[in-house]
Amino acid sequence: MKIIIGAGEQSWEGWRATQGNELNLLDETTWSAFFGEDRADAFLCEHVFEHLTIEEGRKAARTIYRYLKPNGYIRLAVPDRFFPSDEYQRMVQVGGPGPSDHPAADHKVVYGYKEITEVFEEAGFSVSLLEYHDEQGKLQTNEWNEKQAPIYRSSKLDHRNQDGTIRFASIILDAKK
């Protein structure tokens, strides 16, 4: 069983898309109702954790850990605090760049790679960073299979990233139970 958390309009073959009313990261009763005694093999969560405070993110990571099978994983993407683009940083900033209907209007944190890694390590996960920018704004990548768990807002899949130029970036990690 492979589950997309907070899928929105996103869908990928072999993955079950869920919304916040089905799996609310801050309400474990939705998880117990959804899973019962079952556990997931994998979760995919793209650009959701920035809508939580860091403490809420820690709680959500612990919930995800409980509902994963042994050796299960979550592939997660969040906006990247160190991506060197003023326009991008304005777009993903805490509180968003403008009107309350903007997708980033309820952003509560913009993570750096160290902070998001800590959130998942504290929950018991072993974390592997796949894509992120370091403090100097340099893209760091490790080999990852986008077919295993696709992240659209990545250097590999996002239509804005062409000709070797990154225009939209995410911190992407795998956290394994």
pLDDT at 163: 82
pLDDT at 6: 87
In order of start, what are the domains of the chain with their CATH numbers? 2-176 (3.40.50)
pLDDT at 99: 79
For 115, phi then psi, to 5°, come to -65, -45
Nearest alpha-carbon partner for 61 in 148, 124, 128 = 124
Both structure tokens of 118: 């800590």
Residues 2-25: tens digit of each pLDDT: 999 988 888 899 999 898 889 999
Q: How many CB atoms lie within 10 A of CB 118?
A: 17
Q: Which DSSP letter does residue 47 get?
A: S
Name residues of the chain where pLDDT drops below 50. Answer: none
pLDDT at 51: 94
Percent of the chain at pLDDT > 90 equals 79
Both structure tokens of 92: 């993903």
Both structure tokens of 12: 């990928």
Beta strands in the chain, from DSSP E residues, in sequence order: 2-4, 16-17, 40-46, 68-79, 126-133, 139-141, 170-176
pLDDT at 120: 98
Predicted TM-score (pTM) of this structure: 0.93
